Amino acid sequence: MEANKFYKIVLIVLVVINATTLYYVFLGSNNQDPKHKLADYFEHELMLNNHQKEQLENLIYIHRTEQEQLRIENRKAHDDYFSLLKANQTDSILIANKLNKILEIKRKEELSTFNHFKQIRAICNASQKQKFDTIILEATKMLAPKPPRR
């Protein structure tokens, strides 16, 4: 009788764990790419028509391609920069040059993002541009890195 009660409790616990896991896998975790959320946000808030949605998707593809290339350059520049640590003596001019390369890539990333939003604004009609101007700061916050969890 005791063993039977024990097995029932174990079975109930396992069912609850399984149900919880299934919930988080299919419904609970919102792992959507923030950039997709941002595109959806623009489509919804600006009430884009189908042609504008196609243009937006094309602009997003171009921007992501540019950003990916810049991320590759950034990783290489950081590798070059930190590889200077291997030397016993490093030239301060060489360090400054490597750091300037990283900063130049960062400048290109920021300019690329600015131009991307400028192009999105350009596909909008007059009323959508007014709405764009009111939501752009909120939209850019969606791209900001999340603070670390404690």
Listed by start position, the domains of the chain span: 1-31, 32-143
Confidence band for 45, pLDDT divided at 50, 70 and 90: very high
CA distance 141 to 138: 5
Residue range 12-25, pLDDT digits in tens: 877 778 777 777 66
Mean pLDDT rounded to a whole number for the chain: 87
Q: Is the pLDDT of residue 31 over 70?
A: no
- Cβ-Cβ contacts under 8 Å for 109 (sequence gap 6 or more): 67, 70, 74
Spatial separation of the C-alpha atoms in residues 123 and 58, rounded to whole Å: 12
How many whole angstroms separate alpha carbon 31 and alpha carbon 28?
A: 9
* CA distance linking residue 55 with residue 124, whole number of Å: 10
pLDDT at residue 30 in the model: 52
In percent, the amount of the chain with pLDDT more than 70 equals 90
CB within 8 A of 143, min separation 6: which ones?
34, 35, 38, 113
Confidence of residue 28 (pLDDT cuts 50, 70, 90): low
DSSP label at residue 82: H
pLDDT in tens, 53-99: 999 999 999 999 999 999 999 999 999 999 999 988 888 999 999 99
With bands split at pLDDT 50, 70 and 90, how would you rate the model's confidence at 146? confident
Question: How does pLDDT run across 93-143, given as a tens digit for each residue?
Answer: 999 999 999 999 999 999 999 999 999 999 999 999 999 999 999 888 887
Which structure tokens are listed for 88? Answer: 């016993």
Q: Is the CATH number 1.20.120.1490 carried by domain 32-143? A: yes
User: What's the longest Cα–Cα distance across the chain?
Assistant: 81
